[in-house]
Amino acid sequence: MPGSSFTRACLKQLLRISAVAALLTTCLPGIVVGQERDAPPPSIQKSLPKLRLERTLMAPSEISGPRGAFNTQSGNSKFTLSSDGERLAVYIRNGLAINTWTGDTKVEKPIPRYTSFGLDAYVLKFLGGHHLLISSPAAETNDSAGWKKIEDVAFSVLDADTGKVLRNVSGPNPGAQSNQNIAVDIAISPDEDLVAAFIRQLTDSRVMIYSTDDWHQVTELDLHTTGTKEDELNPSALAFSPDGKSLAIAHGFHGRIKFYEVGTWKLSRSIVTFKEEPPPLNALLLDALAFSPDGSLLAVASHAGGSWWVSNDGRTAQEGSGTLRQVFPHEPLRVYKVANGERVNSLGSFPGGLNSSSKLTWSTKGDYVAFIDALGDARFWNPFQPGPSVVVGRIGPHAETLLLSKDGSQLLANCPDGIKIFNIVPAP
Distances (CA, A) of 314 to 24, 324, 325, 376, 402: 10, 11, 11, 18, 28
In Å, how far from its chain's centre is CA 328?
20
pTM of the model: 0.85
Q: How far apart are the first and last CA of the chain?
A: 55
- Identify the pLDDT of residue 258: 95
pLDDT in tens, the chain (428 residues): 333 443 444 444 444 434 434 443 333 322 222 233 444 454 554 589 999 999 988 876 655 444 444 444 444 568 899 988 889 999 888 889 998 988 766 777 789 999 998 889 999 999 988 999 999 999 999 999 999 999 999 999 999 999 999 999 999 989 888 888 999 999 999 999 999 999 977 666 799 999 999 999 999 999 888 888 777 788 889 999 999 999 999 998 889 999 999 999 999 999 999 999 889 888 788 999 999 999 999 999 999 899 888 888 877 777 678 888 888 999 999 999 999 999 999 999 898 889 899 999 999 999 999 999 988 899 999 999 988 899 999 888 778 899 999 999 999 998 877 889 999 999 88
For 157, residues 6+ apart whose C-beta sits below 8 A from its C-beta are: 127, 132, 133, 134, 165, 166, 167, 168, 169, 215
- Identify the pLDDT of residue 232: 77
- Identify the pLDDT of residue 296: 98
Distances (CA, A) of 207 to 183, 185, 235, 257, 423: 9, 10, 8, 14, 37
Q: Which domains does the chain have, with CATH numbers?
A: 1-77+236-250+285-428 (no CATH), 78-220 (2.130.10.10)
In Å, how far from its chain's centre is CA 267?
24
* Rounded Cα distance, 396 and 60, in Å: 13
- Identify the pLDDT of residue 30: 26
